[in-house]
Amino acid sequence: MKRLRRIHPLYYLALVLFIAALVASAVTADSSGGGGRSASVYDAGPGGTAALRTYLEAMGASTLTLQGDTFAADVSEVGVLFILGPSEAFTQVDVAALRRFVEAGGIAVLATDAGILDKALLDAFDVHVAGALGPGEYPIGGMTFADPPVHAIIVDRGITLSMGPARVPLASTPSGGALVAMAPEGKGSLIVVGSVAPFLTFDLGVASNGRFALALAAPAIASGRKVAFDEYHHGIHPTTDVLVLLTRTWPGRALMFVAIAFFLYLVASGRRLGPSIPLDPRPPRSSLEYIRGFAGLVRRSGHGEIARRRIRRELRTALARELGVDPETSIADITAEIATTDRDRAARARALDEALARPLRDETLLRTVREIARLTATGRETGGTA
């Protein structure tokens, strides 16, 4: 009977990666008209704002979208610019363009759920995120929302706002945080709404959400100018960003999958790119190399007293053995005994012992070792004093 061949584990890994890629593609696939929260006028689903555009046009407003190569609005044509839940970050160039539009007399309405991608815009107009906003119905009033009359809006989530000087809260929460804030600038103003919910198709018909949006667009209708929707920051513009091309197109996703699978294959198999590197045969290390290596470790550790203590003990042991006395005899007694026959040698032994009691440079330590070798050799030649 033919023996079954064992399947390589990498094939299982490739299968798991393929399934993971399919799941990720299904999760990240574009679902316009589905349950997402895109806030785009091109999204006819409950999370889009296509119904808002249709509603404003039915109420007499002319609308257009800002998209293309650059982000810019002409105040002579556009009266109110809606920036609803941007999905791309504002650059300083975008902030400067919006500031020019507002200073020339335009009204910009920014609705945000988090204040992250539009943080640069909020900071430029001295409006900041103060905290989270829970779901509920919030009262709205004041002259800004008198025509048409707005009494309350319903949101599912959002943020509360804090403002700098000369900024006006148009609506507040029961806790005191601003839900709608106005930042006048030049002839116009930026109105910040702490939630995208009132403008979405799903919530447009509840409470006074529709009239709230209409009241914000009323200045453009009254002046005969158009209401614009920012689709530039929803990605409706040309891009050369490689990351966008890789993550938002099927060929790019395929390339990423192949690259990741190939990388994991290299990691799992332990292979490397390019030709193999031959082994570098090395001769066995000699005893001298080990000694030099240990000496280097002692030198770098800064504990030279280890070597000096050992050499000092060997000096005393050699002199004591030469005299035939106990190795634990003090150096003073040993040198005194040597001095009875050779005072100069005794003085040299005492000087060497004292030198080893204090830190020495490497070259001095080596010279001391050589002197000890000569001193003990002299004792062996003379036969000692025993």
For 85-102, how does the pLDDT look when each residue is reduced to its tens digit (9 = 90+)? 998 889 999 999 999 999
Strands of 164-263 (E only): list them. 168-172, 178-185, 188-193, 226-230
Q: Which of the residue ranges 57-66, 175-184, 298-307 would you say has the lowest mean pLDDT?
A: 298-307
Q: Is the dihedral of CA 346, 347, 353, 356 positive or negative?
A: negative
| pLDDT for residue 333 | 85
Whole-angstrom distance, CA of residue 350 vs CA of residue 332 = 8
- Among residues 174, 189, 8, which one has the least CA distance to residue 81? 189
- Provide the pLDDT confidence category of residue 65 given band limits of 50, 70 and 90: very high
Question: In which residue are the tokens 């198709």 written?
Answer: 201
Cα atoms in the 13 Å half-sphere on the side-chain side of 213: 33
Measured over all CA atoms, what is the biggest interatomic distance in the chain, rounded to whole angstroms?
A: 127
Q: Angle CA(133)–CA(137)–CA(140) in degrees, nearest 5?
A: 95
- Computed over every residue of the chain, the mean pLDDT equals 83
Question: In which residue are the tokens 């198999």 written?
Answer: 269
- Among residues 337, 315, 316, 338, which one has the least CA distance to residue 328? 316
Q: Which of the residue ranges 95-99, 103-107, 168-172 would you say has the lowest mean pLDDT?
A: 168-172
Is 26 a residue whose pLDDT tops 80?
Answer: no
Q: Which domains are delineated in the chain? A: 30-238 (3.40.50), 287-382 (no CATH)
- Percent of the chain surpassing pLDDT 90: 41
Contacts of 4 (CB under 8 A, 6+ apart): none
- Provide the pLDDT confidence category of residue 326 given band limits of 50, 70 and 90: confident
Are 155 and 188 in contact by the 8 Å Cβ rule? The answer is no
Of residues 137 and 35, the one with the higher pLDDT is: 137
| pLDDT for residue 161 | 94
Instruction: Read off the pTM.
Output: 0.57
Q: How buried is 127 (Cβ within 10 angstroms: 0-12 exposed, 13-18 middle, 19+ buried)? A: buried
